[in-house]
Structure 1
Amino acid sequence: MINIKKEEISTFRTKSPKKIAIIYPPYGSIDNEPGLKVVKDNYGIFPSLSLLYVAGCAKGAGHDVLFLDVNATLISKDEVLNQLKHYQPDYIFYTITTYQLKENLDWLIELKKSYPCSVVVGGVHMGIYPEETMRHKEIDVGFIGECDVMDYEAFSKVPGIIYRKEEKTYKTKSSPVLMNVDNAHLPATQLYALYLKEFQHDYWREFVKNPKSQIAIQRPGCTMPDEEIQAYCKQAYLEFYYRPNYVFKALLRVKSFSELMRSVKVAFQMRSSG
């Protein structure tokens, strides 16, 4: 097992550098959408800092990285495939989300048919359903937790992963918890060409260096003003919390007159602000 201390993560270097393609698949509204479709469709584009953090760890460890944000650029699967064939990665990384698992799998399965290389997945979902996710044979490796240690000489030596070998899956010991984020790599925001091209500066890196800066967060592709987004959110909250069934259950939980008055006051404030 790779023995690496938490404070050494930022200085770790692999002895076997690879070419890694990181793909952020389309992220839109779906059936049984847990969020607001109108907001999801019009909220704009934010850099995927979680995947850019993975890219930062990979670059910091000595790997070469290609970052493809399909959600932002809306490029087709054919264009993604063309870039993969040109870049020739050794591994392709995807982020997996629970409620978009089907859509995520559709992407990686179709791309793997045309470009068969090792597929690595990660995200909060993998920390909850690692074994279940690895039942999909197209997935070769899953990160459980953070992707701090980027080494691929032998998966059995990398902490915090689940991997496939000869039709069986194996889990390694948990990866060390990074207690001080100053010892981690910065997200590789320099790879986010779309954002940099439109706004001419790396907001995220500037903010990390100076959290007190007053640079406004901009959203490429946003078609709604903040006021309209907030109005839709308030409307959704009202529709949710004023459902008869929800109100009835809330009243059953009230244990005193003062608590009832507080609940009525909060409900009145919500209605007034909406």
Structure 2
Amino acid sequence: MNDNILVSIAIPMFNAEKFLKFTLNSILNQSHTNFELIITDDGSTDKSVEIVKSFNDSRIKLYVDGLNKGISYRLNQQIDLVKGKYFIRMDADDIMFSNRLEKQIDFLENNPDVDVVGSSAVIIGDLNEVIGFRLAQIPPSYEDALKTITFIHPTVAGKTEWFKKYKYDEELIGAEDFDLWLRSRENSVFKIIEEPLLFYRDPLKFKLKTYLFRLKQQRKIFRKNPYLTNHPFKQKKMILTSYLKSNLALLINTVGLDNYYIARRNKTLAGNISLQDYNDPLLKSLAKK
């Protein structure tokens, strides 16, 4: 175990009171204990800030300015603040496997050429029930990367210096990670740990407004992407496909097939599998609450 290595876990937080205790407990009980937890609040109006302050742990560093600036701004703020060798992404409603940090740090230490590593994830709902499994895979080509997300964003860990070099585009809220992986792909080494290291909260509730906004943001990327600009036919095709996805989402929402639309993204796990089926003592205790 590389417990002598300081790493930085970063959570951008906005109105996260419902699941925040689960998230923080999963971090504070990591097998790798040498970390700082940077939490930047984005103008929460619920009890999120109070919940963070209720945890008496010197590794937690909370930043509150009362403003709502968006996730991209908060991520860049965190990148400027962190002191660890590695930058660990985390959302305020997900749950880490208790060995997540250990696994990813060991991987990065043993593969010094790798800039960013992600993992697969087990998908959970609002009651911590297991919904499915999402296998992470690096798109084999640039064109493939234009059609799918490279990483499950909150599973990534990477060199802090790499994140300081590339940062996030603050105008692309909702597609900030999609843009980041595209911009950096040709000059970076990305890898995946195929085993899941995160319980990713993605309940079967289709957020139409959010989905349509993200597609709109992706179209902004397609319009200014250098590769697509040099291939105008492909560019038009990508933009048209995005508009078709928007129309399809509107249709599916109208006919009430939202759950099917969300569920098809995740592989179904065989049998009646729950959190207790994973060999993780912390998660077993959370499942009982």
Common topology (TM > 0.5): no
* TM-score, reference length from structure 1: 0.31
Q: Taking CA–CA contacts closer than 8 Å with sequence separation of 6 or more, which of the two structures ends up with the larger relative contact order?
A: 1
Query: Bigger radius of gyration, 1 or 2?
Result: 1
